[in-house]
Amino acid sequence: MESHIRTADYVNKQMIELNKVNEENQNRATRSVKTETHLSDGRLRLYRLAAVCFGVLCVLQVILNISLRLTCYNTMTEERDQLQTKQTCPEGWQKFNSRWYFISTETKTWEESRDDCVKRGADLVIINSNMEQEFLFGLNKRAWIGLTDSVTEETWKWVDGTSLTTSYWYTLQPDNYGANPANREEDCVELNTESWYPVKAWNDLSCLNNRYWICEKVV
């Protein structure tokens, strides 16, 4: 009887030990799963952080490239403007919009005036708008402009060969009338700033008369 009791106690102890081992193994397995899960979450967060950082770096690189290009463009524009100013702004020239104008300080015939403009890399002025007309009127010079009908009478053309479309003739002009009977042909045009209104201030005149002149060239 005592032997059976001892055997039962032994079996119970072994069962208890086995249960402890099983619980410990289960606990280890649970801890292992949690550890793996934690490590996986950590790696995922790390990958996400790396992706975000890479995206931010890309955006910063794009912004930097744009800034550098803008800086280079502005620098080149300033240098170009400075160079153009040095090259196209000699004494006697004035700038209006995208063009430069030379105003003479002496008088010549229309042909002589045009020759002078050509030597300066320009030509007698061509007037395209009210603003330009008013600007030139403000120079306060009774001067030749680049308009003539010397090729075909009453067919007015600019020095670049284009036909006249918008005109600023003074009242009753052109009249093809000269004070000297020998020079009745008035085939060239002056801008009369002495007494006429800015917009309507053109007058046809003999090309042999001496006037100041205005040269023009594109910047």
CATH code: domain of residue 192: 3.10.100.10
Q: Report the phi/psi class of residue 6: left, alpha or beta, with left for phi > 0 and alpha for psi in -120 to 50.
A: alpha
Q: Determine the Cα–Cα distance for residues 65 and 54; give it in Å rounded to an integer.
A: 16
Contact by Cβ (8 Å): 107, 142:
no
Whether the per-residue pLDDT at 85 is higher than 60: the answer is no
Name the pLDDT band for 183 (thresholds 50, 70, 90): low
The CA-atom distances, in angstroms, between 25 and each of 21, 29, 36, 91, 112 are 6, 6, 16, 100, 113
Q: What is the pLDDT of residue 11?
A: 55
When pLDDT is averaged across residues 158-177 and rounded to a whole number, the result is 90
The pLDDT-based confidence of 144 (bands split at 50, 70, 90) is: very high
Domain boundary, last residue among 88, 113, 142:
88
In this prediction the pTM is 0.59
Q: Is the pLDDT of residue 64 over 80?
A: no
pLDDT for residue 54: 75
Asked if residue 37 and residue 124 are part of one domain, the reply reads no
80 with 135, same domain: the answer is: no
| Number of domains, the chain | 2
Q: Which of 84-98, 106-120, 197-211 has the highest mean pLDDT?
A: 106-120
Tell me the torsion sign for CA atoms 190, 191, 194, 197.
positive
- Do 190 and 120 reside in the same domain of the chain? yes
In this structure, the answer to whether residues 48 and 106 fall within a common structural domain is no
* Residues 82, 132 share a domain: no
Quote the domain boundaries for residue 17: 1-88
Q: Quick one: tokens of 140?
A: 């306060």
Dist CA 104 CA 39 (whole Å): 87
pLDDT at 206 over 80: yes
pLDDT value of position 117 = 97
Which one-letter amino acid corresponds to residue 108? K
CA distances (Å), origin 193, targets 97, 103, 137, 185: 21, 13, 6, 22
What are the backbone angles phi and psi of residue 23, rounded to the nearest 5°? -65, -40
CA distance 18 to 28: 15
Q: Which of 65, 88, 111 is the last residue of a domain?
A: 88
Same domain, 21 and 77: yes
Identify whether the C-beta of residue 111 lies closer than 8 Å to the C-beta of residue 124.
Answer: no
Q: How high is the pLDDT of residue 49? A: 79
Stretch 142-158: mean pLDDT: 94
Same-domain status, 135 and 206: yes
The reply to whether 37 and 22 lie within a common domain is: yes
Q: Does 9 lie in the same domain as 81?
A: yes
Q: Are 100 and 192 part of one and the same domain? A: yes
Question: Of residues 212 and 55, which shows the higher confidence score?
Answer: 212
Provide the pLDDT confidence category of residue 21 given band limits of 50, 70 and 90.
Answer: low
Q: Are residues 27 and 124 in the same domain?
A: no
**127 and 200 part of one domain:** yes
Distance, CA of 174 to CA of 217 (rounded, Å) = 26
**Tens digits of per-residue pLDDT, 94-133?**
999 989 999 999 999 999 999 999 999 999 999 999 999 9
> Last residue of a domain, which of 60, 88, 116?
88
